[in-house]
Amino acid sequence: MSNRLQQLIEFLAESPGDPFLTYALATEHLKLGQTEDALHHYEALVNDHPDYVGTYYHLGKLYEALGRKADAVDTYEKGMQAARAKRDMHALSELQGAYHLAAGDDDDDD
């Protein structure tokens, strides 16, 4: 186990309701190639903290990497709703782009 992963686990044990720590833990698992652990934490985060907008993009991308296109599209849609609710236009733009790519929408006329 990496030092960073161990630190994050300890921090999360001290502050179990902190969405940033859960997000950081999921991202660290993903960085280490621990896909199932990353997936578990990202999914818990969108369920427990649906207003933590940054999670949706990364969870959607992970679903795409796992070949779970329908889950990715659904995640991007929920993320766009959360971003609109928080008026986070930057996140909304990123989620819209990811959504269109995952859904196969092509805005080009060629």
pLDDT of residue 110: 36
The CATH number given to whatever domain includes residue 81 is 1.25.40.10
59 in the same domain as 45: no
For residue 21, the enclosing domain spans: 1-49
Assess contact for 92 and 84: CB atoms under 8 A.
yes
Domain count, the chain: 2
85 in the same domain as 40: no
Residue 49 per-residue DSSP state:
-
75 in the same domain as 32: no
**Residue 69, φ and ψ in degrees, nearest 5:** -60, -45
Which residue type is seen at 72? A
Its pTM stands at 0.89
Q: Compute the distance between CA of residue 17 and CA of residue 4 in angstroms, rounded to an integer.
A: 19
55 in the same domain as 8: no
pLDDT string in tens for the chain (110-residue length): 789 999 999 999 999 999 999 999 999 999 999 999 999 999 999 999 999 999 999 999 999 999 999 999 999 999 999 999 999 999 999 999 999 999 987 554 33
11 in the same domain as 43: yes
pLDDT of residue 106: 57
56 in the same domain as 27: no
pLDDT of residue 108: 46
pLDDT of residue 1: 77
71 in the same domain as 40: no
